[in-house]
């Protein structure tokens, strides 16, 4: 017995030594850099949800990123002061919208493919899984399509967020409601049980309660819910006058459709993620009046002049240039996911230019110091260790689907009022 234990311990010790030795080998970080003359090709690694529930949003995000890669390479890359010309290539895999796959694949990107920089997958849940790997292998990762705050409160140092964090996602909807109807008091929160939606509505609920609203229903639904009947019955039973919540595209659009079919008598509905998507218009009449926060809209007023007013630097194309290039490339309008993908590449480019180097440590420093206005909005990262990488510069805009005089559906910006393209349609028809 005793001897058996001794052998076990010996075996364990051997394994440990072996693991350490392997880690030491891996530690001599190879990079994917390929050098030819003065041209360096950097590898950008990411995963795409080609299958599974994040398919729609993820593929748009990747299209945005790929457009940036194509443009920067066609423009001859980035030239550093020492004459080095940097070009980019990408390595990507299908993560099947699954966390397990993400961890497996980002490990592969970091070790086998030797990616120099990482871009996050789509969604907060998947990005949280990828962030662990990025941090473990010391790779700078720009996150896009990932708004949850908690990812950036784990002490990571290599992860940088492009999106406005979840805690500021729906608070604007409460402001809109207060402006539109000071009499209204009862709000129902019905949201997807996911990392992202839960952190959004928890913050929005606190905010609403601080403004004197009564939260009459606060309940999550499973991410793959297709039948909202029970929730709709609860909403009607609770006497709610406004609904805030949603989660991602599929559940959000189904929820909106069923709210319309059952003629739920509420005055205001604001849902996450789904409404800003161009495909939301396929709901027809069910889309009319639905409000949604958006990270970016083509009409948004971010210009070089606005940068001057803020006293910060402007970088990259204007919204119009981005939209035109995107439409020319893919034959469809970009959504905010597309813009986020492009912005992730653009911010990486800006950081490499500012660092004047491909050294990850210098690029990280440049990201820490960044305060810039791009077509996507202002980008500035928190540098305090307790929330390092959290986005603090960017603001949400709110859209609402309305009908124009010919009866065609149109997406209008209704908030903030300074950038609004139309009056809020209230109450919702």
Partner 1 sequence: MALDWTTALSFLIDGLMLGFVFGVAAMGLTLIWGVMDVINLAHGPLIALAMFGVYLIMNFLGLSNPYPALLLTTLLALPVGMGIYYLAVHRVIDAPHLSSLLATYSVNMMLMGVMNAVFGGAPRNIDFSLGSITLFGDIVVPTARLVAALAAVLIAAALYFFLYRTRVGRYIRAVTDNRDAAELVGVPSTTILALSFGLGVLLAAFAGGLIATIFPFTIFDGGRYELKSFVIGVLGGLGNPIGSLFGGLILGVIEGLVPMFLETSWTPVIEFGLFVFILLVRPTGLFGGKS
E strand intervals along 266-305: 268-272, 291-294
Residue 271 beta carbon to partner 1: minimum distance, rounded to whole angstroms: 15
Between 277 and 382, whose beta carbon lies closer to partner 1? 277
Between 52 and 360, whose beta carbon lies closer to partner 1? 52
Between 271 and 373, whose beta carbon lies closer to partner 1? 271
Q: State the Cα–Cα distance between residues 316 and 343, nearest whole angstrom.
A: 9
Residue 123 beta carbon to partner 1: minimum distance, rounded to whole angstroms: 14
Residue 167 beta carbon to partner 1: minimum distance, rounded to whole angstroms: 24
Q: State the Cα–Cα distance between residues 8 and 192, nearest whole angstrom.
A: 47
Between 193 and 423, whose beta carbon lies closer to partner 1? 193
Helices then strands, each counted (H, E), the chain: 12, 17
Between 82 and 224, whose beta carbon lies closer to partner 1? 224
Between 50 and 114, whose beta carbon lies closer to partner 1? 50
Nearest to 43 by CA among 98, 115, 103: 115
Residue 253 beta carbon to partner 1: minimum distance, rounded to whole angstroms: 8
SS3 318: coil
Q: State the Cα–Cα distance between residues 110 and 116, nearest whole angstrom.
A: 8
Judge contact between 346 and 319, C-beta under 8 A: no
Residue 57 beta carbon to partner 1: minimum distance, rounded to whole angstroms: 10
Residue 334 beta carbon to partner 1: minimum distance, rounded to whole angstroms: 18
Between 281 and 420, whose beta carbon lies closer to partner 1? 281
Q: State the Cα–Cα distance between residues 387 and 289, nearest whole angstrom.
A: 36
Q: State the Cα–Cα distance between residues 270 and 246, nearest whole angstrom.
A: 8
Nearest to 117 by CA among 159, 85, 58, 167: 159
C-alpha Rg value of the chain to the nearest Å: 23
**Binding stretches for partner 1 (CB under 8 A):** 49-53, 55-56, 96-97, 193, 216-217, 219-222, 224, 226-227, 229-231, 233-234, 236-239, 249-250, 253-254, 257-258, 261-263, 282, 284
Q: State the Cα–Cα distance between residues 299 and 413, nearest whole angstrom.
A: 8
Residue 186 beta carbon to partner 1: minimum distance, rounded to whole angstroms: 11
């Amino acid at each position: 017995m005793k001897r058996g234990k001794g052998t076990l311990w010996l075996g364990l010790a051997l394994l440990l030594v072996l693991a350490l030795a392997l880690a030491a080998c891996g530690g001599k970080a190879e990079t994917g850099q390929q050098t030819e003359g003065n041209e360096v090709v950097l590898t950008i690694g990411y995963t795409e949800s080609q299958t599974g529930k994040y398919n729609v949003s993820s593929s748009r995000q990747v299209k945005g990123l790929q457009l940036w890669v194509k443009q920067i390479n066609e423009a001859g890359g980035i030239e550093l002061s020492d004459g080095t010309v940097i070009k980019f290539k990408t390595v990507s895999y299908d993560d099947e919208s699954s966390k397990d796959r993400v961890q497996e694949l980002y490990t592969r990107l970091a070790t086998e493919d030797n990616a120099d920089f990482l871009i996050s997958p789509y969604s907060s849940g998947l990005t949280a899984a990828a962030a662990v790997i990025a941090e473990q292998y010391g790779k700078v990762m720009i996150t896009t399509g990932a708004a949850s705050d908690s990812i950036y409160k784990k002490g990571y140092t290599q992860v940088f967020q492009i999106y406005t964090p979840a805690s500021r996602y729906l608070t604007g909807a409460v402001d809109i409601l207060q402006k539109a109807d000071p009499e209204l008091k009862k709000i129902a929160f019905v949201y997807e049980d996911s990392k992202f939606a839960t952190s959004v509505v928890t913050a929005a609920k606190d905010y609403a309660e601080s403004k004197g609203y009564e939260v009459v229903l606060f309940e999550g639904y499973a991410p793959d819910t297709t039948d909202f009947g029970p929730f709709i019955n609860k909403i009607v039973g609770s006497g709610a006058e406004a609904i805030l919540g949603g989660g991602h595209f599929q559940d959000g659009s189904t929820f909106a459709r069923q709210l319309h079919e059952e003629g739920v008598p509420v005055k205001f509905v604001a849902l996450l993620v789904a409404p800003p998507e161009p495909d939301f218009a396929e709901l027809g009449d069910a889309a009319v009046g639905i409000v949604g926060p958006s990270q970016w809209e083509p009409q948004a007023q971010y210009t070089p002049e606005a940068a001057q007013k803020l006293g910060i630097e402007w970088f990259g194309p204007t919204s119009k240039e981005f939209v035109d290039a995107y439409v020319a490339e893919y034959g469809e309008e970009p959504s905010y996911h597309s813009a986020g993908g492009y912005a992730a590449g653009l911010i990486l480019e800006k950081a490499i230019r500012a660092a004047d180097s491909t050294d990850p440590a210098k690029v990280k420093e440049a990201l820490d110091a960044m305060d810039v206005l791009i077509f996507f909005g202002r980008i500035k990262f928190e540098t305090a260790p307790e929330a390092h990488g959290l986005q603090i510069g960017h603001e949400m805009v709110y859209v609402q689907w309305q009908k124009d005089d010919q009866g065609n559906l149109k997406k209008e910006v209704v908030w903030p009022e300074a950038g609004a393209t139309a009056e809020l349609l209230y109450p919702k028809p």
